[in-house]
Amino acid sequence: MGVPTLGCHCVVCESADPRDKRTRPSVVLGFGGRNVVIDTTPDFRYQAMRAKIDRLDAVLYTHAHADHILGLDDIRPFNLKQRGAVPIYGAPETLATLRRQFTYIFDDAPAESTIPLIDLHTIDGPFDLFGARVIPIPAMHGSQPVLGFRFGKAAYLTDFSRVPESSKTLLRGLDDFILDALRYVPHPTHSNVEQSLALVADLKPKRAWFTHICHDLGHVETNARLPENVRLAYDGLTFEVGL
Ligand SMILES: [Zn+2]
Ligand SMILES: [Zn+2]
């Protein structure tokens, strides 16, 4: 829902610490002059401006919940600037939901103004993207399947409640693991702090970064309670990863 959460006046929502201001979850991977975005959130336009993204080369989708897809329309300036379609990658069920949610992109009706230009690519296993290897990591988000993504020594896995053993194998030997940790209280479709700490203890990445954090977790006080190698991520966080 973002922090501050609309209508909420709790200490985290009213915090003056910029790291307690949270837009919806997304990351951009920059390499070889390319920018690959994971999920186009409702905050995509603002996030791309803030990160000074000058081009968009591909979008990978984890799943098709509203907080992960609704910024898709805002890729249009990149279509115009780059004079072409942006490749979009997702699992079959994710692409099916995109087709339903954005019928105007897919209905072939004559458009009187710009609409997003995209090429759909179905993810059915690891694939190469501009010379980098992308390894999809299947997980469960309640009863719905989601994908995380591994790039070299880093992986991004948001919106999950259970990681099957076959996927844990794909998540070993990481330098940086960015993962869902919504809050302390258990949630039917999200990993909480305790569950995510257990997963980190099992997979042993060098560093773990919690994301998709709700207003229950203040930045400074939560970090003080976490192990040294586990930190809350924050908007604008950047680091280098070995591809
Ligand atoms: Zn979700
Ligand atoms: Zn989400």
- Please name which ligand lies nearest the alpha carbon of 142: 1
Nearest to 230 by CA among 184, 187, 189, 199: 199
Encoded tokens for 81:
């600037």
Other C-beta atoms closer than 10 Å to the C-beta of 130 total 15
SS3 breakdown of the chain: % helix, strand, coil, rounded to 5?
Answer: 25, 25, 45
pLDDT tens-digit map of 110-164: 888 999 999 999 999 999 999 999 999 999 999 999 999 999 999 999 999 999 9
pTM (global) more than 0.85? yes
**Tokens 């070889």 appear where?**
32
How many angstroms does the Cα of residue 220 sit away from the middle of ligand 2? 23
Whole-angstrom Cα distance, residue 132 to residue 157?
Answer: 18
Q: For ligand 1, an ion, list residues with CB under 5 A.
A: 65, 159
CB neighbour class for 79 (10 Å; exposed up to 12, middle 13-18, buried from 19): middle
